[in-house]
Amino acid sequence: SYFLTATFLVGSLISIIGHQKPWPGALPRELSSLDVAMRLRVDAEMTAAAATDFGRLTCAVPAAVFCPSSAGDIAALLRFAYEQQRPLAVAPRGHGHSVWGQASAQDGIVIDMRSLRDGGASDGNQCPPLQLEKPGRLRVLTSSAWDDGMGLPYVDAGGEQLWVEVLNETLKRGLAPKSWTDYLYLTVGGTLSNAGVSGQAFRDGPQISNVCELDVVTGKGEMMTCSRDLNPDLFYAVLGGLGQFGVITRARIALGPAPERVRWVRLFYTDFAKFTKDQEYLISLEGKMEDITVKKKKGFDYVEGSVFLDNAPVRNWRSSFYSEEAEGRISSLAAQHGVIYCLEGSIYYGPASAPAVEQDVERLLEDLSFVPGFLFTNDVSFMDFLNRVRQGELRLRSKGLWDVSHPWLNVFVPKSRILDFDAGVFKGILKRNRTMGPILVYPLYKDKWDERMSSVTPDEDVFYSVGMLWAATAGGWEKLEEQNAQVLRYCDEAGIEVKQYLPHYTRRDEWMKHFGPKWDMFVERKRKYDPKALLSPGQGIFTAPL
Ligand code: FAD
């Protein structure tokens, strides 16, 4: 009877955990007796939601989804996984906005990071209504509240927090992070595992350059705090580390004063050399008021750019800026020239600097070589500027065009070869095919990146971030992926040493080439923090214990 009772109890527990579903064969039985087992969900709705991502190019069904209520829960799960003889893959999933299954774990466990925000509750819905009035695990520390002698304000953000939540909370104190991504519905842990770049990165560096401290749960289940001074090896490994060394459960992010408004311009070019010359000139100007000398002008606070092809619609999720009349004129310019370029710049301002903003912009425009008459201006709140992609997203969602396949290709191109890239890719490969989705091009400074971090960039002082953000609305993403392969082949054959951003490779030798001289350090750190190669297997870097 003892045996029967025990069997009944284990059986009941498994049914509760699994919502009447049988225990997945891929998971060790002993897992069901851990305290945190109650946080595992094995129902098909949850596992199916975690099987794919924004890219909709892959499907890797996990055995279970783990909904932690604290970093301690994650540590308990990883300690258990680390003790197993048979590797048990574990992937933290932020908001699932990768495109190649980087946050997946076939037959393993996906950690639904967003459930940390709600104390372990999750309904598996990847797009629940946002509750900005409930900040979640966010704490803003100003210099008066935190007297550590640095005088810096910062925010402590849970790794699961969306950047839009971080912005909303910091703005209440008149503060904001300095470096952004174009889209804010991405998690802190997700973008810090890559880099986080946008039009502010030329000046303030990528998001990973603006982190002061992290809490991380390693692949051995240890909970560690790290910074440039404390466990620096782990700190540098995790930033840009593609989820390979630990789960980020808290990030301390530097803040600066938030402006109130943004004057935003878009200027069109038909000549790529003039376009890039102007972009490089603009990023060379100091943007900060206190640094301005009489000789230097106030520069833009944000500089980006994009490419328009005559064979693609002008309207995409980044173009909510234009009126219909403007769209017509831009289309005609593209039809006339085949390929045109749009330089985008913004100046931040508040009540004190408002009277000067008009003049500041005019002075900057004087030096630029855009096509006369092709200047478009906008003036928006800081929140609306940073959250600009949301409008485009909602528009596409309403037409069923957001949840489609996204075979994106993002590369960093050395400045010395950007004209060749234009000739071979924008005016060559892409012109020959019909594409859909924005193409972004803007320059960044290498010295704003920290070489000790895991991220990789080309070996030149200035390089261009090029994003080819394709959408395959009527299926057929394979053709676009073949086009991406053509782009990479062209670069290879022409000796253009690009580095993929948000990299996707399937072979070990490709990863070794990607990391170049950083590869040995990357492997060494993996051996130290995740020797059984349990974490984020969807990146496809390590397939066996080290
Ligand atoms: P996920 O896709 O969930 O995870 C990404 C990787 O990080 C996975 O390997 C995962 O296992 C790991 N991971 C997730 N959370 C953690 C954690 N807490 N600790 C450790 N590892 C973790 N990027 C830019 O730099 N600039 C942009 O302007 C930009 N714009 C974008 C716009 C859109 C519409 C989309 C879809 C993506 C954009 N991205 C941009 C790319 C984006 O930064 C990455 O895809 C990022 O990984 C997405 O964050 P996520 O929270 O969805 O991460």
Show me where the domains of the chain are located. 2-116, 138-258, 261-501
Residue 370: its pLDDT value, please? Answer: 98
Angstrom distance (rounded) from CA 185 to CA 426: 29
pTM of the complete model: 0.94
Angstrom distance (rounded) from CA 182 to CA 327: 22
Name the CATH code of domain 2-116 (choices 3.30.70.20, 3.40.50.720, 3.40.47.10, 3.30.43.10): 3.30.43.10
Cβ atoms 245, 216 nearer than 8 A: yes
Distance 417 CA to ligand 1 centre (A): 28
Cβ atoms 529, 234 nearer than 8 A: yes
Helix (H) or strand (E) holding 234: helix 232-238
Angstrom distance (rounded) from CA 247 to CA 133: 26
**pLDDT tens profile 218-274:** 999 999 999 999 999 999 999 999 999 999 999 999 999 999 999 999 999 999 999
* pLDDT of 399 strictly over 80: yes
Could you tell me the pLDDT band of residue 433, with boundaries at 50, 70 and 90? Answer: confident
Helix (H) or strand (E) holding 247: strand 246-257
**CA-proximal residue: ligand 1, atom 35 (nearest):** 97
DSSP 182-206: S-S-SBHHHHHTT----TTHHHH--
Q: Give CATH for domain 138-258.
A: 3.30.465.10
Binding-site residues, ligand 1, Cβ < 6 A: 53-54, 91-98, 102-103, 113, 159, 181-183, 186-187, 189-191, 193-198, 242-243, 247-248, 502, 536, 538-539
Residue 319: its pLDDT value, please? Answer: 62
**pLDDT tens profile 260-288:** 999 999 999 999 999 999 999 999 996 44
Could you tell me the pLDDT band of residue 296, with boundaries at 50, 70 and 90? Answer: low
Cβ atoms 490, 429 nearer than 8 A: yes
Percentage of residues of the chain with pLDDT beyond 70: 90
* pLDDT of 203 strictly over 80: yes
**CA-proximal residue: ligand 1, atom 7 (nearest):** 190
Q: Specify whether 97 is catalytic.
A: yes
* pLDDT of 289 strictly over 50: no
Q: Specify whether 451 is catalytic.
A: no
Structural tokens at position 227:
């910074």
Structural tokens at position 63:
């055995």
Residue 2: its pLDDT value, please? Answer: 52
Cβ atoms 480, 404 nearer than 8 A: no
Residue 152: its pLDDT value, please? Answer: 77
Residue 440 CA, closest ligand 1 atom number: 28
User: How far are the Cα atoms of 33, 203, 301 from residue 286, in angstroms, in the given order?
Assistant: 59, 8, 9
Q: Which of 97, 215, 344, 422 is catalytic?
A: 97
Q: Which amino acid is at 513?
A: K
* pLDDT of 92 strictly over 50: yes
The ipTM assigned to this model is 0.99
Question: Which of 123-137, 284-298, 431-445 is modeled with the greatest confidence?
Answer: 431-445
User: Strand, helix or coil at 117?
Assistant: coil
Q: Specify whether 358 is catalytic.
A: no
* Residue of 54, 115, 164, 191 to test ligand 1 pocket, by largest number of atoms within 8 Å of CB: 191
Distance 32 CA to ligand 1 centre (A): 30
**pLDDT tens profile 473-483:** 876 899 999 99
Name the CATH code of domain 261-501 (choices 2.40.50.100, 1.20.1560.10, 3.40.462.10, 3.40.190.290): 3.40.462.10
Could you tell me the pLDDT band of residue 16, with boundaries at 50, 70 and 90? Answer: very low
Distance 327 CA to ligand 1 centre (A): 31
* pLDDT of 514 strictly over 70: yes
